[in-house]
């Protein structure tokens, strides 16, 4: 598939998300009706944010937007700028700490 932003590579300078970084964000997270409970940094170096409740793959469920917008709603996501590609951060509630584990698309062969 390839990154949405091939000119932006991780790790980021100073461990901070670059301004204007694009992400695939579930609409419920982008509009602030639900917090991000799952943040994925995939092997293509794209970022995906989901509410952990609804299917982010449903038609029209997700949009591409600047990560800065979501950081304005939930500054705790900024702590995930050092999350390596191929990993996901999850939490059960917005007030809980992030739990990090390896992650791959279901159709990806195991490495």
Q: In this structure, is residue 103 part of a structural domain?
A: no
Q: Is residue 10 situated within a structural domain?
A: no
Containing H/E element for 40? Answer: strand 38-41
Domain-embedded: residue 61: yes
Q: What is the mean pLDDT of residues 61-90?
A: 97
Residue 11 counted as domain residue: no
Residue 40: which domain range? 17-86
CB atoms within 10 A of CB 98: 17
Domain tally for the chain? 1
43 part of a folded domain: yes
Q: What is the pLDDT of residues 2-42, one digit of tens each?
A: 677 878 889 999 999 999 999 999 999 999 999 999 999 99
pTM higher than the cut 0.85: yes
Burial track 43-62 (b if 16+ CB lie within 10 A, e otherwise): bebbbbbbbbeeebeeeeeb
Structural domain includes residue 101: no
Percent of the chain with pLDDT over 70: 95
């Amino acid at each position: 598939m390839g990154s949405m932003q091939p000119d932006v590579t991780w790790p980021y300078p100073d461990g901070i998300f670059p301004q204007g970084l694009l992400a695939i964000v579930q609409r419920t997270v982008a509009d602030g009706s639900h917090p991000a409970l799952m943040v994925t940094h995939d092997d293509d170096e794209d970022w995906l944010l989901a509410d952990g409740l609804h299917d982010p793959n449903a038609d029209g469920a997700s949009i591409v937007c600047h990560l800065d917008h979501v950081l304005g709603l939930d500054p705790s996501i900024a702590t995930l700028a050092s999350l390596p590609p191929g990993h996901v951060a999850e939490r059960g509630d917005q007030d809980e700490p992030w739990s990090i584990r390896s992650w791959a698309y279901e159709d990806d062969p195991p490495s």
